[in-house]
Amino acid sequence: MELSERDIRILVFERSWWRHAGAKEQAIRKTFGLSSARYYQLLGALIDSPAALAHDPMLIKRLQRVREARLAARSARLLSRDD
């Protein structure tokens, strides 16, 4: 699988989105013309993509760690509610 131009632009954006003025959601809309929900769907697929990992391994590994931490936190919250 090869990365599309949009895929590469998303990876570049993720590496440097904090440089954009304003909220990330506004920068997503302005840069890609996408809703934030659609953007995160595309990013989620990229995080699991071997092509994206080969293209930018440090970024993809960092995004995987962030995603895993969020899932663990969500699971912990759900478990604490059951007590």
Q: Report the C-alpha gap between 33 and 22 in whole angstroms.
A: 16
Confidence of residue 80 (pLDDT cuts 50, 70, 90): confident
What percent of the residues of the chain are helix, what percent strand, and what percent coil, each to the nearest 5? 80, 0, 20
Domain extents in the chain: 5-80
State residue 21's pLDDT score.
Answer: 64
Distances in Å between the Cα of 37 and the Cα atoms of 16, 25, 44 are: 19, 9, 11
**pLDDT, tens digit, 9 for 90 and up, residues 24-41:** 888 899 999 999 999 999
Q: Please tell me which residue, 21 or 53, carries the higher pLDDT value.
A: 53
